[in-house]
Chains A and B, each alone.
Chain A
Amino acid sequence: MNNKFKYSLVFAAVTLASGCSSLGVEPWERDLLAKEQMALTSAPIDAALDDHIYFSKEASSGGKSFGGGGCGCN
């Protein structure tokens, strides 16, 4: 049972990895992806301000970008 689970996991990983090469678009299909709102960090200033707030008010930081030190915020 355990082995079966392991094999399906490996199968899933291989399918996912090989699937990546068939994923994606041709260069001329990037009209929507090229929009600035489609950037993964489309508002870097907002992101920096939010990171600073949550870094100083919660026990977690980083993930999307470096968590870092940077302030003795209370």
Chain B
Amino acid sequence: MKNEKHNKNLKAALTLATTALFSTAQAGAVPLPSDTPTEDTWSFDSAFLYYSEAERVSAAEAIFNAKKNYSDDSTLNLKLTVDVLTGASANGAVAQPNVQTFTRPSGKGDYNVKAGDTPLDDTFKDTRVQLNGQWSQVLAQNYTGSVGAHISKEYDYLSLGVNGNLAYDFNKKNSTISFGLSHFQDTFSPEGGIPKPFASMPLSYGQYDDNGNNSTKNIHDATRMSSDDNKTTSDIMVGFTQVINRRMVTQFNYSHSVVDGYLTDPFKVLSLVDSRGITQDYLYENRPDKRTKQSVFAQSKYHFDETILDVSYRYMWDDWKVESHTLDSRIYIPLGDGSYLEPHLRFYQQTAAEFYQPFLMQSDVFPEFASADYRIGEMTAYTVGLKYGMKLDGGNDLSFRFEYYRQNSESAGHKAPGALASLALYESVDAIIVQVSYSF
């Protein structure tokens, strides 16, 4: 009982705060007393997620979402996301039978990797703040429009985005066609600048060369081409939703996406190896500056007597020759009293981008593009998860989600010469995802 009162007070306070925030835009608007009855309602969702890879990256992410439903069916959605990333990420180089030394992306220091280990750069640390706003309203009978804006800022990254969507309902609102556009403008200003394609990784500042001369920052800077670079992402999406019967609804989407600009990862290198499989140099990777992706997506939800089955499938292909299949399924199982269990299974499989290669060979013709980033290599992944949710006094929702995610990198047919034959080139990544959500 006390809890319920506390929750109501919290919601009332937040409603007042958000109302006050937005009424400042209306000159001369008089704030309504909090007890004035109104048909407009606010609802709030919050979640905290912890993602952790074994011996690699950890991320903590918090989301706060405020949604206002107006009496005329318009909605305003405001979302704040904050995340913190720390830990180690594969730098692209291959394991070696000896200790390896790498320069940190900033150029101000170095790190060692043990013999036989996949090289991980442990410098990753970033905090990101993201704001999303979305306004949706009925434009005319059977027509719903929606517009949104996005801003995301990290220490070394800025992303600005806008989107718009138009939906048309017909056949007694059993069928809906939708058309959406989205555009993102991103700026990347990585610590230490943008490396030149295939430049050798320089020594860190303060190192001495063979003649005892102090190599300066100039040597590092000679491997850089600029301090920042941009990319744009333009998406078109066409969707069709159909109610099949009282128990079933389906959705089909087609998406076309063009990413243009700096698509290389400035922190990733490739090992240049000789015929014995021994690394002679580390070269910064280079990807094409354009990528066109397409995908088809289908989803179906079926309401059995008690449980609800949700199955979706996505096929994606692009001009980098990446093809992927994603199968996702959930079963909502009510347990009574508003509580439920929801098991989740996801399966993912992708082919490698055509320029992916785990390392460069000295004897081979130098390619135009190359990347050893395992995320664009051949891979299968699966997720197994379980969510438990409950209704609290006062109708608020509390839920817990626990998931296990595994990525298995696979060889795309590259031969491993000499020493590399006995080293692990394609490592698996294990991660756990823990999430707590509260809606009021």
CA distance A24 to B249 in the complex (A): 9
Residue pairs across A and B with Cβ atoms less than 8 A apart, 17 shown, are A23-B174, A23-B242, A25-B243, A33-B249, A33-B303, A38-B249, A45-B437, A53-B51, A60-B324, A60-B348, A63-B297, A66-B163, A67-B257, A69-B259, A70-B184, A72-B190, A74-B265
> Which residues from chain B contact A26 at a C-beta distance below 8 Å?
172
Top 10 closest pairs, chain A to chain B, by CB: A24-B174, A72-B157, A63-B297, A69-B184, A63-B314, A66-B182, A69-B233, A60-B324, A60-B316, A63-B295
Chain B interface (Cβ within 8 Å of chain A)?
45, 47, 49, 51, 57, 61, 63, 65, 79, 81, 83, 85, 89, 124, 126, 128, 130, 150, 152, 154, 156-157, 159, 161, 163, 171-175, 180, 182, 184-186, 188, 190, 231-233, 235, 237, 241-247, 249, 251, 253, 255, 257, 259, 265, 267, 293, 295-297, 299, 301, 303, 308, 310, 312, 314, 316, 320, 322, 324, 326, 332, 348, 350, 353, 375-376, 379, 381, 387, 401, 405, 407, 429, 433, 435, 437
State whether B375 touches A63 (Cβ < 8 A): no
Q: Answer whether residue A1 sits at the interface, using C-beta atoms and an 8 A cutoff.
A: no
CA distance A38 to B243 in the complex (A): 11
How many A-B pairs have beta carbons closer than 8 Å: the answer is 184
State whether B233 touches A63 (Cβ < 8 A): no
Chain A interface (Cβ within 8 Å of chain B)?
20-21, 23-27, 29-33, 35, 37-38, 40, 42, 44-46, 48-49, 52-54, 57-74
> Which residues from chain A contact B232 at a C-beta distance below 8 Å?
69
The chain A residue with its CB closest to the CB of B153 is A71
State whether B161 touches A68 (Cβ < 8 A): yes
Partner of A49, one of B63, B150, B310, B387: B63
CA distance A59 to B312 in the complex (A): 18
State whether A59 touches B324 (Cβ < 8 A): yes
State whether A25 touches B246 (Cβ < 8 A): yes
**Are A40 and B251 CB-contacts (below 8 A) given A32-B246, A45-B45, A66-B163?**
yes
4 A-B pairs besides A38-B303, A53-B405, A60-B314 with CB distance below 8 A are A24-B174, A24-B175, A46-B401, A63-B255
State whether A49 touches B435 (Cβ < 8 A): yes
Q: Which of A21, A29, A49 has the most CB of B within 10 A?
A: A49
The chain B residue with its CB closest to the CB of A24 is B174
- B contacts with A: majority SS: strand
**Are A69 and B159 CB-contacts (below 8 A) given A32-B303, A45-B63, A48-B63?**
yes
> Which residues from chain A contact B293 at a C-beta distance below 8 Å?
60-62, 67
CA distance A55 to B229 in the complex (A): 20
Partner of B235, one of A48, A53, A62: A62
**Are A74 and B267 CB-contacts (below 8 A) given A37-B308, A62-B235, A69-B159?**
yes
> Which residues from chain B contact A61 at a C-beta distance below 8 Å?
293
Q: How far is the CB of A74 from the nearest CB of chain B, in Å? A: 5
State whether B157 touches A23 (Cβ < 8 A): no
CA distance A38 to B171 in the complex (A): 19
State whether A72 touches B407 (Cβ < 8 A): no
> Which residues from chain A contact B186 at a C-beta distance below 8 Å?
69-70, 72
> Which residues from chain A contact B265 at a C-beta distance below 8 Å?
74
> Which residues from chain A contact B233 at a C-beta distance below 8 Å?
67-69
> Which residues from chain B contact A57 at a C-beta distance below 8 Å?
375, 381, 405, 407, 429
State whether A49 touches B47 (Cβ < 8 A): yes
The chain B residue with its CB closest to the CB of A32 is B303
The chain B residue with its CB closest to the CB of A56 is B375
The chain A residue with its CB closest to the CB of B244 is A23
CA distance A32 to B243 in the complex (A): 12
> Which residues from chain B contact A44 at a C-beta distance below 8 Å?
45, 65
CA distance A59 to B320 in the complex (A): 10
The chain A residue with its CB closest to the CB of B254 is A63
CA distance A31 to B48 in the complex (A): 32
State whether A58 touches B433 (Cβ < 8 A): no
Q: How far is the CB of B416 from the nearest CB of chain A, in Å? A: 22
**Are A40 and B255 CB-contacts (below 8 A) given A59-B324, A60-B350, A74-B265?**
no
Partner of B257, one of A32, A62, A74: A62
> Which residues from chain A contact B182 at a C-beta distance below 8 Å?
66, 68
Partner of B231, one of A29, A54, A69: A69
CA distance A70 to B184 in the complex (A): 7
Partner of A60, one of B57, B89, B185, B322: B322
